Amino acid sequence: MRIATWNVNSITARLPRLLAWLESTGTDVLCIQETKCTLEQFPADALRELGYESAVNATGRWNGVALLSRVGLADVVTGLPDGPDYEGVQEPRAIAATCGPVRVWSVYVPNGREVTHDHYAYKLRWFEALQKAVAADAAGALPFAVLGDFNVAPTDEDVWDPALFEGATHVTPAERAALATLRAEGLSDVMPRPLKYDRPYTFWDYRELRFPKNRGMRIDLVYGNAPFTSAVKDSYVDREERKGKGASDHAPVVVDLDL
């Protein structure tokens, strides 16, 4: 079984690439972030033609998450239960479902913007709500994973130059502590340590030739419980999908399971 996560940075802009990628990779379940569309604009019909059911949490031009599955889609939870509001709105940043033999959450953690910004405090509250939301699934017997754009680099090895990020979001002790608290629910990073590939970043800014220079960050993560991680046969960043015209600024993260 192949499961992946991908921040597409607009599903409308990325649709041709997304359809081609799904068809060529044989992915069974895909967690998507930053759909940047309304529910009505989501291309469910085009995906259905490839054999994928869709579960979507999207409300407009910002944020938005989805789950695509060709192995079933049941027990859908739309939104983060008891999740915090930002400026009076609960943003569409989480969705969960059981897809065949696995349970998954697709999440798009708030960016945080700046450490002194209200969005940073919101990000930490959002992590607390995520931890509570996944606790029961993480402790269950079913293979379970939370996948997505976490907007946190877990270690200094996960950014191209830690010194440049000093004092900025994505690398602060509080954000990394939030990730550690999430992992304490019985979850593990499925990326092998030591890393199979040198510097397997998942995000490269469009500016300053960051991708050709490999100046990126590993912020798209897959955290699985013991039944999930014990079934992992391979995990990798599909760096090729970040190349070329019309690419997202994130690459897919792919996990192969023996279930």
pLDDT in tens, 180-195: 999 999 999 998 665 6
| ∠ Cα 153 157 160 (to 5°) | 80
- The answer to whether 58 and 66 are in contact (CB under 8 A) is yes
Please report, rounded to a whole number, the percentage of residues in the chain having pLDDT higher than 90: 95
Residue 198 is predicted with a pLDDT of: 67
Q: What average pLDDT does the structure give for the chain? A: 96
Mean pLDDT of 201-208: 96
C-alpha separations of 249 from 77, 192, 215, 244, 255 in Å: 28, 23, 12, 11, 20
Tell me: pLDDT of 83 over 90: yes
Residue 194 is predicted with a pLDDT of: 58
pLDDT in tens, 44-58: 999 999 999 999 999
Tell me: pLDDT of 38 over 70: yes
Read off the pLDDT band of 196 (50, 70, 90). Answer: low
**Six-digit token pair at 8?**
């597409």
pLDDT in tens, 123-175: 999 999 999 999 999 999 999 999 999 999 999 999 999 999 999 999 999 99
Q: Which CATH architecture has domain 2-257?
A: 4-Layer Sandwich (3.60)
Tell me: pLDDT of 211 over 90: yes
Mean pLDDT of 23-35: 98
Mean pLDDT of 87-115: 97
Residue 193 is predicted with a pLDDT of: 61
Q: Omega of the bond prior to 194 within 30 degrees of 0, cis? A: yes
